[in-house]
Amino acid sequence: MSRTGKIAALFILGGYMLFATDLPAQKQLLSHDQIFDLRQTNNPVEIVKWIDDNSFIVSKRDEKRILSLIKIKKKEQIPIEEKDLKQYYPEPATKRLEVQSGNISYDGEQIVSGNSKNAVLSPDSAYIAYTKDNDLYAVRISDKKEFRLTNDGSDVILNGYASWAYMEEILGRSSHFRAFWWSPDSKTIAFFRTDDSKVPLFSITDSRGLHGYIETMRYPKSGDNNPEVKIGLVDPEGKNSIVWADFDSKEDQYFGKPLWTPSGKNIWIQWINRGQDNYKLFDINLVTGKKTEIYSETQKTWIDIDKDNRINFLPSGNGAIIISDKSGYNHLYLSPNPSPQGRGTNSPQGRGTNSAQGTNSTQGTNLTQGTNPTPITQGEFNVLDIIRIDEKNKTVYFTCFKDNIGCVDFYKASFDGKNLQRLSFGNYTHRISLSPDAKYFVSVYSNTLTPPATALYDTKGKLVMELGNSRNEQNEIYEWAKTEFVTVKSDDGKYDLPMRVILPVNMEKDKKYPVIIHVYGGPAAINVWQGWSSGSMSHWYAYEGLVQVAIDHRGSLHFGKKGQDEMHRNLGKVEVTDYSTCVKWLIENAQVDPERVCINGFSYGGYITCYSLLSAPDVFTHGIAGGSVTDWMLYDAPYTERFMDHPDENPEGYKQSSALTHAGNLKGKLLLTHGLIDENVHVQNTFQLVSEFEDKNKFFDLVIYPSNRHGYGGAKGRHFRNLQIKFIYEHLLRKSIPERLKKEM
């Protein structure tokens, strides 16, 4: 479908968006069976791979996968077979690295036996690095010779293996606790040496077996001692002594993921103070470990240390593009030639370390150049991700939230901050694939009313050819649930809060309908976007008479760091205020029954569910909370203190943001669930709230999932899904579960 394709309209009246859909004719209602058996749309056309600057292959899966070769200059779509793919882009022969039961195999041959973890092949394919019993090792593949690179690993000393807090809050779960990184030239391995000895132990118990099960973990709760981290540099054969980066491991601090420069001759270390409001970037001398500060940024609230896309090296390695929200919005900044002089030898000469600890401003400084990095983008909008850096033409291509709230757009801008140009089109969310020469892009685009369509454009913004859409005849014949995108003015008039709303099919005038609100709610999180979504249960509940809503508050990604800053030191307050405003709008404008307002969430969403029912009991009448934080004193220090500060600095904020403080306010129907061995949000959170409820003679429902962690899998996951269905029918829809749905349960 082209950009001029017809979509349903949202009409604005009295400052509010009212629901109205432009339907050409009456459509057939779906039966219960049809909701689960029919498909509203086909899959969209997806790009498989660019072959060269002027041709690529796309795929569409219907009954089978259909492939087409697109030739841009001739505007041709040529059908091809699966067997032909290697003709266009033969895959290079690769040798496979595998780890099974702690044994490492390479190209089908076992290289290492034992308790190995996180095996990573060196860039030159000559070595494999891994950890074993909390020490760092490397093996030379040619002769299977193993080199032990550290010797003090224990239950509290972790070399190349991350502590839980670093894995969860800084390096990310995808790291699988790996805390070592090969240099691009394969000559050096950087690694964290973590000392967990001062981090308090937390015990986790389970009901399994005859005598139960107990495990312990080092888990720093708010205000506790954090892991002490040193950063080491070592060659893969351990020929030279470990070089330690020049940081004091006793200092209260965090380190982000180290960044090797493209040449491999420099490594940048991301550092932040415990208060997480002063971020620094250091270049480390590989020979001496001496650190040289090259960037510093201070904010009044917090800075996220765990941003994977903060530093983006230019292809030449001669500079970087930094993504920072220091202005109140996520923007791009060019930092040219930021590495110290003498980068080939990593000489520390010619520049001081500049130990200044930042200022009270929110400006970042490139201390190497003595100037601020050059802004590439500016204004009240958020850059999301860089798609391509074209250093030759001094242009960067990126996605952003800019023109329409909730829509992901595609832009380009010059390095000097000029020539900002929108390349995408319409009121859509775009998924982009850019050609190798950056002259063309394929967009898979959609919004809440338009199923995904695919088109080819040039980077001047001109349509080259349409490639297909995902509509099918069932979309036109049957009455499927409609998703509407709505904005509601916040109570202070500062923000247009976005909502995705699915209204019941064939609503009756003057009838009141129950609502379920799906939330997560953490800082910078996002639940609401203008993109297509379609699921059987959404349609089912729309036919059953349930209003389904997702809401984003002012601290979501839509409103940048400016909105998030309002959450500082008082989590829960802003979120519930904005959610309450939207609920009141739904009651006034969407026939929502004020006696059946349910909020549903897991983890931070579980916290918000509990906090909503307890801090706004006259607005929220029902809740389903899973894996909930109930008091921020009970969650980990790196995450919690980022937003709440240290407990000693903000005791009143911790008190007021705690669900425990407000437990006596419970009036509605609350279902609590938790995994008994949840190592992320400990079950003590739910148990402490349960204790408060019992002491205050408040009644609730509780389901515990033994042997399950943060999220329920297998049979327990199915039980949790069905538990929610039963709750919705009993308390919101107030009727029996139909037989067809019982079959799906």
pLDDT (mean) for 655-678: 98
Burial class (CB in 10 A: 0-12, 13-18, 19+), 370: exposed
For the chain, state the CA radius of gyration: 28
The residue among 374, 418, 414 whose CA lies nearest residue 394 is: 414
Q: Which of 456, 445, 440 is nearest to 76 (CA)?
A: 456
Helices (H), 481-572: 536-544, 560-564
pLDDT at 367: 37
End-to-end CA distance of the chain: 37
The answer to whether the Cα torsion of 166, 169, 170, 172 is positive or negative is: positive
Give pLDDT tens digits for 467-509: 998 988 888 899 999 999 999 999 999 999 999 999 999 999 9
- As given in the structure block, the two tokens for residue 102 are 């702690």
Domains of the chain by start residue, with CATH: 481-744 (3.40.50.1820)
Angle 85-89-91 from CA coordinates, rounded to 5°: 95
Q: In the structure, what pLDDT confidence band is assigned to residue 338 with cuts at 50, 70 and 90?
A: low
Half-sphere exposure at residue 436, Cβ-oriented, CA atoms within 13 angstroms = 8
As a whole number of angstroms, the distance between CA 465 and CA 442 comes to 10
CA distances, 239 to each of 132, 136, 180, 244, 260 (Å): 20, 14, 18, 15, 21
Q: Is 450 helix (H, G, I), strand (E, B) or coil?
A: strand
- What is the rounded average pLDDT for all residues in the chain? 90
| Band (15; pLDDT cuts 50, 70, 90) | very low
Give pLDDT, residue 220.
Answer: 98
Q: How far is CA 583 from CA 517, 598, 664, 732, in A?
A: 9, 10, 23, 15
Q: DSSP per residue over 33-54, as a string?
A: HHHHHS-SB-PPPEEEEEEETT
23 SS3 class? coil
| CA-based torsion, 27, 32, 36, 38: positive or negative | negative
Q: Report whether pLDDT(640) > 70.
A: yes
**Side chain identity at residue 481, one-letter code:** A
3-state secondary structure of 638: helix
The side-by-side arrangement of strands in the sheet containing 319-324 is 311-313, 319-324, 331-336, 374-375
More confident residue, 39 or 124: 124
Output DSSP code: residue 720. H
Q: Which of 82-96, 478-492, 617-631 has the lowest mean pLDDT?
A: 82-96
Q: How confident is the model at residue 361 (pLDDT cuts 50, 70, 90)?
A: very low
Residue 528, C-beta contacts closer than 8 angstroms, at least 6 positions apart: 406, 485, 498, 499, 500, 550, 551, 552, 556, 558
**pLDDT digit string, tens, across residues 443-453:** 999 999 999 99
Pairwise pLDDT comparison (61 vs 319), residue with the higher score: 319
pLDDT band at 117 (very low <50, low <70, confident <90, very high): very high
pTM of the model: 0.91
Residue 363, pLDDT above cutoff 50 = no
Are residues 160 and 131 in contact, defined by beta-carbon separation less than 8 angstroms?
A: yes
Q: Which tens digit of pLDDT belongs to each residue from 284-309? A: 999 999 999 999 999 999 999 999 99
Alpha helix segments (H runs only) across 508-667: 536-544, 560-564, 573-589, 604-615, 637-644, 651-657
